[in-house]
Amino acid sequence: MPTTHFTTWLVTGANRGIGLEIVTQLVASSNNLVIAACRTPEKATALNDLKKSARGVIHIIKIDVSNFDSIRASTKALQAVCGETGLNYLINNAGIIAQDTVSTLDPEHLLELFKTNTAGPALVSQVCLPFLEKGSTKKILHISSTAGSIGSLSALESPRGLFTSYAMSKAALNMLAYKQKLKNPDFTIITLCPGWVKTDMGGEEGLLEPHESVAGILKVITSATVVESGKYLRYNGEEIPW
């Protein structure tokens, strides 16, 4: 059971890419306890290796954000780790992408993206709410994308017709964050674009290394207060138009 000096985090999609880098940077400090959630913990080799060398504490649990039963079942694991002390930070990071257009999108695939990128984070937030309410710090960070910004669409560098389902799901995630902010005025809730990062999802053409993006992400969420709650930001703190 964690002691009160720990800052407690839950990170979804923690087995690779941005999620793994977030956990890596957090557990470099002995002050952090990280609940690292992924679909298949027994196959998360890098995450399990990190656990052996971490200065902070890592608990690896199963959460498949595309499976609502899996999300609901995580309550037991969360109770065991932070049921007494509460949760300070929830980072909804897990997500999927599709390179479709308005002409080629498959409605069934569109629903899969909404299930993982929007409905999953909404349910994870609901499950975590009782634990966050116990925490001295109450923060939720949704990893979104500038692709979900209607106001930025004409200025995006990548082909503007691509990633239609992904963009729609992230725009909906942004609305979720603002709705949560209105419902929970004592929470700090941010939706954030990590930039174009060199990961399995972002590809080798990405402009940022994972450590650069994550350093910015963590600076934004740790320094944010309720005054910033409901904002749509970049990893460097710049505001993004809705």
**C-alpha separations of 108 from 114, 165, 171 in Å:** 10, 10, 18
Q: Does residue 242 fall inside a structural domain?
A: no
pTM for this entry: 0.93
Q: Does residue 241 fall inside a structural domain?
A: no
Q: Does residue 1 fall inside a structural domain?
A: no
Q: Does residue 2 fall inside a structural domain?
A: no
Tens digit of pLDDT for each residue in 147-186? 999 998 876 655 556 799 999 999 999 999 999 999 999 9
Q: Does residue 27 fall inside a structural domain?
A: yes
What is the CATH number for 16? 3.40.50.720
Q: How far is 67 from 70, CA to CA, in rounded Å? A: 5
What is the extent of the structural domain holding 152?
Answer: 7-234
Tens digit of pLDDT for each residue in 187-231? 999 999 998 877 766 666 666 898 999 999 999 999 999 999 999
Q: How many domains does the chain have?
A: 1
Q: Does residue 71 fall inside a structural domain?
A: yes
Q: Does residue 81 fall inside a structural domain?
A: yes
Q: What is the DSSP string of 138-187?
A: -EEEEE--GGG-GGGGGG-SS-TTS-HHHHHHHHHHHHHHHHHHHH-TTS
Q: Does residue 32 fall inside a structural domain?
A: yes
